[in-house]
């Protein structure tokens, strides 16, 4: 068994970067065991259906966003490697939400930083818990349509893995989704919900038009 003090010998102890704190009417006590800037390990005491559990391990990581990006009738995704995956995977734009930042602000920032694009319309697809028992933060998903290139200094990425930018047609995106080319469940959800929104394009167009100045160039691509 290893406790928080022992973990601190192996990892630098830093203040957790996220705003998340999870407590419900089932939570009786919560104790932070260990934290770094991107992870906080907690031990919760919970009561569920009159059963008390004193060693419920709960993990917080900063909340995240993912964005399916449409640019000039194509969909921009990364082909990349990740430590937790075997081989390559397609992936949408994504990143952590910074402290004090809203999910929508994070989506706009990541789109700017990763692709130097600004969205003509940003459609919200939903916010979801990553792991319903152990936490692991929440992810908010978006579809960015009618994106335009902006002049922006390319920022250094803290992503250590290799990634290449790919441009997919609507048909290629559907085929990639169907063959599980997006290997992380958050990425798969982003693309699946984005495709569903595109299939209901007339409704989405009206919803986005009410909040954003949307170019008439955005139409469903068959």
* The pLDDT value given to residue 218: 43
pTM exceeding 0.85 = no
Range of lowest pLDDT (19-23, 67-71, 79-83, 211-215): 211-215
Q: Among positive and negative, which fits the CA dihedral 170, 171, 173, 174?
A: positive
Judged on CB neighbours under 10 Å (0-12, 13-18, 19+), 194 is buried
- Listed in sequence order, the residues at least 6 apart from 169 whose beta carbon sits closer than 8 Å to its beta carbon are 73, 74, 75, 221
Helix, strand, coil percentages in the chain from 3-state DSSP, rounded to 5: 25, 40, 35
Distance of CA 61 to the CA centre of its chain: 12
- Answer yes or no: are the C-beta atoms of 88 and 122 closer than 8 Å: no
- CA neighbor of 166 nearest in space, from 78, 82, 69: 78
Mean pLDDT in the chain? 83
* The pLDDT value given to residue 153: 54
């Amino acid at each position: 068994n290893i406790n928080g003090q022992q973990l601190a010998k192996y990892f630098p102890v830093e203040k957790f970067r996220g705003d998340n704190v999870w407590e419900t009417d089932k939570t009786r006590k919560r104790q932070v065991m260990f934290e770094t800037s991107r992870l906080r390990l907690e031990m919760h005491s919970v009561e569920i259906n009159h059963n008390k559990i004193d060693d419920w391990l709960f993990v917080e990581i900063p909340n995240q966003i993912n964005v399916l990006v449409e640019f000039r009738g194509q969909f921009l995704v990364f082909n990349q490697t990740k430590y937790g995956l075997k081989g390559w995977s397609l992936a949408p734009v994504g990143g952590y939400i910074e402290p004090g930042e809203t999910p929508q602000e994070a989506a706009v920032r990541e789109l700017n930083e990763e692709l130097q694009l600004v969205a003509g319309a940003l459609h919200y697809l939903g916010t979801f818990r990553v792991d319903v028992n152990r936490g692991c933060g929440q992810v908010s998903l978006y579809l960015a349509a009618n994106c335009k290139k902006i002049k922006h200094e390319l920022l250094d990425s803290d992503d250590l893995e290799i990634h290449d930018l790919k441009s997919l047609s609507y048909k290629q995106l559907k085929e990639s989704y169907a063959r599980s080319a997006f290997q992380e469940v958050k990425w798969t959800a982003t693309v699946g919900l984005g495709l569903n929104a595109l299939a209901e394009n007339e409704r989405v167009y009206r919803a986005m038009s009410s909040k954003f100045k949307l170019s008439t160039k955005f139409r469903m691509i068959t």
